[in-house]
């Protein structure tokens, strides 16, 4: 439930508050923070602590990208001593053309406003009045309409390249991308075209005779994704994709897929939690550079995809999981299953654990070329190798102890 905060009266002096060190509000802030050092220097009337168990106010922050490639920061303020404000929320909007200083300033000012009611309760000598206005969750319509000459369309063009030159080895690469997006409360339209090329030339010298080994990988993709919001939980979509990938022996892969998505939680709560289930069914036309292991140079396949995704952002940590299954008709055995898990937990005071894993069960490599792989192609990673699975992961543990007060900023050296 969104709450709009209006400050009616805000009368107090931060210098007087700073002089009372023993009466400072202890604040623990967790999540997305643009510049913590800047925020600490600006909010000298509170103590930023490193342990949430000793704080007076717990602030959980998260962010979501906007249609104009900016960020919307969400703030959730909680305090055991103030149960009426247990779900006190604020947000601030940043734009793609904001400088880092603009972003950290907006973030800090919003945090300052959110701490006002807690300061009022913490020390009654300050005269602060706050009104909260509630917005109906069931209202689902476009709002904040403005006279936008671009009609919510946002365009992005990017280009980049790299090179590495040695006497017997040369590497070149470049990529470019074009995006055209339109995002409103009802519609989400995303179009992009990308191209990536990597080239490597290795000079092999034997008996004073030099031979060049040339390696080339190209990847091209054009996508159009359209989503329409039926309700606060249900959406329909249409996906159009055309791709090319020399590494996978794919000369072209054209796909059209209508889709349906349902979120267990209202999308208005997406800054804290989301549990989506989506299903897509479509048609794929494929062409190959070389005949495949099934002696195909081109073919048509029907495809279906089922995906579930869970994202939770809570005091104790963050969980993001995704399970996706893809099946190609007519054979039931042409399928793949992908699982992604990312966890970040606060196990105990000062003890943090992070874990990430991606596991794929692969049984749909019908695009592999029929020709045998040479030793040079194997070593140079020219094309995709046959495999029935892929697993990758990472983990880490971090422990922090000592003083819980961390409001001093010193950036020398």
179-214 residue pLDDT tens: 999 988 899 999 999 999 999 998 888 888 888 888
Q: What residue spans define the domains of the chain?
A: 3-134, 148-229, 259-413
- Can you tell me the mean pLDDT for 340-363? 88
Say how far residue 127 (Cα) sits from the centre of its chain: 41
The answer to pTM > 0.75 is no
- Can you tell me the mean pLDDT for 129-145? 44
Q: Which residue has the tokens 């190798």?
A: 385
What pLDDT sits at residue 157? 95
- More confident site: 313 or 169: 169
Confidence band, pLDDT 50/70/90 cuts, at residue 86: low
- Give the CA diameter of the chain: 90
289 vs 298: CA distance, rounded Å: 9
121 vs 57: CA distance, rounded Å: 12
140 vs 133: CA distance, rounded Å: 17
At the topology level, CATH places domain 3-134 in Rossmann fold (3.40.50)
What pLDDT sits at residue 65? 82
- More confident site: 280 or 146: 280
Confidence band, pLDDT 50/70/90 cuts, at residue 382: confident
- Local structure of 78: helix, strand or coil: strand
């Amino acid at each position: 439930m969104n709450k709009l905060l209006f400050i009616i009266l805000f009368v107090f002096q931060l210098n007087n508050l700073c002089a009372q060190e023993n009466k400072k509000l202890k604040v623990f802030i967790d999540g997305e923070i643009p510049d913590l050092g800047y925020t600490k220097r600006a909010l000298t009337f509170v103590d930023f602590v490193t342990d949430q168990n000793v704080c007076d106010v717990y602030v959980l922050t998260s962010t979501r990208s906007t249609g104009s490639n900016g960020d919307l920061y969400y703030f959730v303020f909680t305090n055991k001593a103030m149960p009426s404000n247990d779900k006190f929320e604020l947000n601030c909007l940043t734009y793609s053309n904001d400088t880092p200083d603009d972003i950290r300033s907006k973030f800090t000012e919003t945090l300052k406003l959110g701490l006002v009611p807690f300061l009022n309760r913490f020390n009654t000598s300050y005269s602060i009045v706050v009104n909260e206005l509630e917005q109906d969750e069931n209202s689902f319509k476009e709002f904040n309409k403005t006279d936008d000459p671009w009609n919510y369309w946002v365009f992005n063009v990017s280009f980049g390249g790299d090179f590495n030159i040695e006497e017997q080895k040369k590497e070149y690469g470049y990529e470019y991308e074009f995006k055209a997006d339109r995002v409103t409360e009802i519609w989400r339209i995303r179009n992009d075209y990308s191209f990536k090329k990597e080239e490597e030339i290795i000079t092999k010298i034997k008996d004073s005779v030099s031979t060049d080994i040339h390696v080339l990988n190209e990847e091209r993709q054009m996508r159009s994704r359209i989503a329409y919001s039926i309700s606060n939980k249900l959406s329909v979509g249409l996906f159009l994709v055309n791709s090319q990938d020399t590494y996978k022996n794919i000369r072209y892969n054209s796909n059209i897929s209508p889709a349906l998505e349902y979120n267990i939680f209202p999308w208005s709560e997406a800054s804290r939690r989301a549990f989506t289930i989506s299903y897509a069914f479509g048609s794929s036309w494929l062409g190959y550079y070389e005949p495949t292991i099934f002696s195909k140079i081109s073919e048509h396949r029907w495809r279906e995809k089922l995906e579930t995704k869970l994202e939770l952002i809570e005091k104790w940590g963050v969980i993001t999981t995704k399970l996706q299954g893809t099946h190609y008709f007519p054979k039931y055995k042409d399928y793949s299953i992908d699982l992604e898990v990312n966890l970040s937990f606060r196990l105990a005071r000062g003890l943090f654990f992070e874990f990430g894993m991606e596991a794929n069960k692969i049984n749909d490599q019908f695009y592999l070329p029929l020709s045998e792989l040479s030793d040079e192609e194997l070593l140079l990673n020219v094309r995709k190798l046959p495999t029935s699975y892929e697993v990758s992961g990472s983990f880490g543990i971090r422990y922090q102890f000592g003083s819980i007060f961390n409001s001093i900023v010193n950036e020398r050296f």
